[in-house]
């Protein structure tokens, strides 16, 4: 009897149904959600941050090119308005703005050679330099002339919108002040600086913007080789850097003014 032929073994494999493709729309939605949450937490952080941090962040978005690292401010005066960020690299802009405002004064030609503005390690130093006859302050007098008062009020208007602190200094030449009651160059330098402070605060500076009044008499002459030079008699306004260290406020002690008034002298 013949052997049966071997039957082939047939294996049937069934393919499982593939899952439908869902696309990437959920990823976009999730990314939007995460972004919104990040923005929400940043707002909460800013609300609880110090005013300096809030100002710095706001300044960055106003000027993301780099000057926003310092607090921003707008200066508005007779010469127009310009957005400035007042820091170490921007005080030259403030200097130009003040110069433009001064040009609107009727006596500008007479005053321009006697007002200097210099960017120093302490800030922008604005100095009102005297002449022999007394351009801003009459000889031996505390109250400023009409020119001196107008210039101080103009600067107050230009500087009032800045966040920067301001210092005011008084200086004299080395000629001794003749006075029957002992009123000296020390008292005169302090009194002139303090009078400049009063005028500028009345002219528009915000309360507390002037943080110090200094009087140096003849101890810091502008022209050291000629301490009797008329330009050594001056009032200086210093616009401090925003990041000025606290040590900058520790100036030399001032001699307190004595009551009375001077009787003369060319200081």
The per-residue pLDDT for range 54-107, each reduced to its tens digit, is: 666 666 666 555 543 444 444 443 433 333 445 556 787 888 888 888 877 777
DSSP 131-150: -TT-SSB-TT-SSB-HHHHH
Which CATH number applies to 71-249: 3.40.50.2300, 3.30.420.40, 3.30.1330.60, 3.30.70.260? 3.30.1330.60
Residue 241: its pLDDT value, please?
Answer: 87
Can you tell me the mean pLDDT for 23-30? 80
Can you tell me the mean pLDDT for 111-139? 88
Q: Could you give the percent of the chain with pLDDT greater than 90?
A: 36
Domain ranges of the chain: 22-62, 71-249
User: Greater confidence, 57 or 171?
Assistant: 171
Q: How confident is the model at residue 233 (pLDDT cuts 50, 70, 90)?
A: very high
266, 175 contact by CB (below 8 A) = yes
Q: How confident is the model at residue 187 (pLDDT cuts 50, 70, 90)?
A: very high
Q: How confident is the model at residue 18 (pLDDT cuts 50, 70, 90)?
A: low
Phi-psi region of 66 (alpha: psi -120 to 50; beta: other; left: phi over 0): left
Through-space distance between the first and last CA atoms of the chain, rounded to whole angstroms: 147
Q: What is the pTM of this model?
A: 0.60
Out of 130-144, 152-166, 184-198, the most confident range is 184-198
Least confident of 3-12, 35-44, 128-137, 244-253: 244-253
Bridge partners, residue 238, by sequence: 125, 167
Can you tell me the mean pLDDT for 196-214? 95
């Amino acid at each position: 009897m013949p052997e049966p032929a071997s039957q082939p073994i047939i294996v049937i494999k069934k393919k499982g149904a593939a899952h439908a493709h869902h696309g990437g729309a959920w990823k976009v939605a999730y990314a939007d959600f995460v972004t919104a949450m990040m923005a929400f937490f940043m707002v909460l952080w800013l609300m609880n941050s110090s005013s300096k941090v809030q100002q710095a962040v706001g300044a960055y978005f106003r000027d993301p090119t780099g000057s926003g690292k310092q607090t921003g401010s707008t200066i508005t005066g007779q010469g127009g308005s310009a957005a400035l960020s007042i820091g170490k690299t921007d005080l030259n802009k403030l200097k130009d703005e003040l110069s433009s405002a001064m040009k609107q004064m009727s006596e500008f030609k007479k005053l321009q050679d006697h007002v200097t503005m210099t960017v120093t390690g302490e800030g922008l130093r604005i100095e009102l330099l005297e002449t022999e006859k007394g351009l801003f302050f009459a000889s031996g007098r505390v109250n400023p002339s009409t020119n001196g008062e107008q210039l101080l009020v103009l600067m107050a208007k230009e500087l009032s919108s800045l966040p920067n602190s301001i210092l005011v200094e008084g200086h004299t030449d080395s000629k001794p002040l003749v006075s029957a009651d002992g009123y000296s160059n020390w008292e005169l330098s302090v009194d002139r600086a303090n009078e400049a402070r009063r005028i500028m605060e009345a002219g528009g500076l915000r309360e507390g913007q002037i943080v110090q009044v200094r009087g140096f008499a003849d101890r810091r002459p502008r022209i050291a080789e000629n301490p009797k030079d008329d330009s050594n008699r001056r009032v200086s306004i210093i616009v401090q850097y925003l990041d000025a260290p606290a040590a900058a406020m520790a100036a030399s002690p001032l001699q307190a003014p004595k009551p009375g008034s001077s009787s003369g002298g060319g200081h």
